[in-house]
């Protein structure tokens, strides 16, 4: 099994939030996977996958090219291993959170991190990234960066329900971590992989939650180095 991930100049620092969901989900199921680093321009060149984005899971000669599809595939094909969702109600909640996290969390965090991501990229990816992201932002990367702290504030204001939830339970999924936690953790790994900015306050429940997430599966997430 191979999991294709997204890297910049440093091939050990896969920073895609969506890949981290899949990576944690594979570890949750106790499955060994070979990580394969790709730059942005290499993704569409991957023979047989016909994919524009990562994560891409290669399994038994086939390719699964979306993080949610990968989660469903793992849940259905490895049903003897710990569940990612804890049943149908949990699966429906995770599906909902998948969209909530995009709208409320990924979008403001993208605006916060976009210039830092650019700086991490290989030279060969920079023109593509600048053109595609400036079209999405409707402004230059530099202009977005000028508002980094305002965007971080918008992101942080969204965190209240998660901090409140974590006051009375260990993980977003309950007593044990599961897929909803991996969706959230992907955001933290994304920020850590590209930026020195701290996205949560030390007294936030999410700060403590992240430390627990970092320890899971032999400290898998700690492969991403904290930036000075
Ligand atoms: N819906 C997809 C989204 C994945 C996605 O947007 N991946 C980004 C990296 S974080 C990507 O590969 N982008 C390639 C590009 O923009 O060219 C999923 O959940 O797998």
Atom of ligand 1 nearest to the CA of 66: 20
Interacting residues of 184 by C-beta distance below 8 A, sequence separation 6+: 101, 105, 162, 172, 206
67 and 107 in a single domain? The answer is no
107 in a structural domain: yes
Q: Which of 50, 77, 104 is the last residue before a domain boundary? A: 77
Q: How many CB atoms lie within 10 A of CB 222?
A: 12
Q: How many CB atoms lie within 10 A of CB 147?
A: 14
CATH number at residue 168: 1.20.1050.10
The one-character DSSP state at 104 is: I
Contact 204, 159 (CB under 8 A): yes
111 and 44 in a single domain? The answer is no
132 and 66 in a single domain? The answer is no
Residue in 82, 87, 84, 70 with CA at minimum distance from that of residue 22: 70
Among protein residues, the one with the nearest Cα to ligand 1's atom 15 is 53
198 in a structural domain: yes
Distance from the alpha carbon of residue 58 to the mean position of ligand 1, in angstroms: 16
208 and 95 in a single domain? The answer is yes
Residue in 41, 62, 61 with CA at minimum distance from that of residue 52: 41
Q: Which of 27, 57, 77 is the last residue before a domain boundary? A: 77
Distance from the alpha carbon of residue 91 to the mean position of ligand 1, in angstroms: 21
56 and 157 in a single domain? The answer is no
Distance from the alpha carbon of residue 132 to the mean position of ligand 1, in angstroms: 13
62 and 100 in a single domain? The answer is no
Characterize the bridge pairing of strands 56-59 and 2-6: antiparallel
Atom of ligand 1 nearest to the CA of 54: 12
CATH number at residue 25: 3.40.30.10
Contact 15, 6 (CB under 8 A): yes
How far does the chain reach from its first CA to its final CA, in angstroms? 34
- The response to whether residue 67 sits with its C-beta less than 6 Å from ligand 1 reads yes
Whole-angstrom Cα distance, residue 167 to residue 70? 30
pLDDT tens series, the chain, 228 aa: 999 999 999 999 999 999 999 999 999 999 999 999 999 999 999 999 999 999 999 999 999 999 999 999 999 999 999 999 999 999 999 999 999 999 999 999 999 999 999 999 999 999 999 999 999 999 999 999 999 999 999 999 999 999 999 999 999 999 999 999 999 999 999 999 999 999 999 999 999 999 999 999 999 999 999 988
- The response to whether residue 55 sits with its C-beta less than 6 Å from ligand 1 reads yes
225 in a structural domain: no
224 in a structural domain: no
155 and 68 in a single domain? The answer is no
Q: Which domain holds residue 182?
A: 88-219
Tell me how far the alpha carbon of residue 53 is from its chain's centroid: 13
226 in a structural domain: no
- Total number of domains in the chain: 2
167 in a structural domain: yes
CA gyration radius for the chain? 17
101 and 200 in a single domain? The answer is yes
66 in a structural domain: yes
Q: Which of 56, 77, 98 is the last residue before a domain boundary? A: 77
61 in a structural domain: yes
* Residue-level pLDDT at 199: 97
Residue in 222, 226, 203 with CA at minimum distance from that of residue 214: 222
Cis peptide before 55 (omega within 30 of 0): yes
Atom of ligand 1 nearest to the CA of 70: 20
71 and 134 in a single domain? The answer is no
């Amino acid at each position: 099994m191979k999991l294709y991930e997204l890297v910049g100049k440093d091939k050990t620092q896969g920073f895609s939030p969506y890949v981290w969901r899949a990576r944690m989900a594979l570890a949750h199921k106790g499955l060994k996977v070979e990580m394969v680093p790709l730059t942005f321009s290499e993704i569409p060149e991957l023979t047989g996958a016909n994919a524009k984005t990562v994560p891409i899971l290669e399994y038994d000669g086939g390719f699964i090219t979306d993080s949610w599809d990968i989660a469903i595939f793992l849940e259905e094909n490895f049903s003897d291993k710990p569940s990612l969702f804890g049943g149908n109600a949990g699966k429906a909640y995770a599906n909902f959170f998948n969209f909530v996290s995009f709208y409320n969390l990924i979008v403001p965090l993208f605006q916060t991190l976009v210039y830092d991501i650019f700086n991490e990229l290989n030279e060969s990816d920079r023109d593509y990234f600048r053109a595609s992201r400036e079209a999405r932002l409707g402004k230059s990367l530099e202009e977005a960066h000028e508002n980094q702290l305002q965007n971080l504030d918008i992101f942080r204001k969204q965190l209240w329900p998660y901090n409140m939830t974590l006051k009375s339970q260990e993980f977003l999924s309950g007593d044990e971590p599961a897929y909803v936690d991996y969706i959230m953790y992907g955001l933290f790994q994304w920020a850590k992989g590209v930026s020195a900015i701290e996205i949560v306050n030390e007294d936030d429940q999410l700060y403590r939650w992240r430390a627990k997430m970092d320890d899971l599966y032999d400290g898998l997430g700690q492969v991403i180095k904290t930036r000075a």
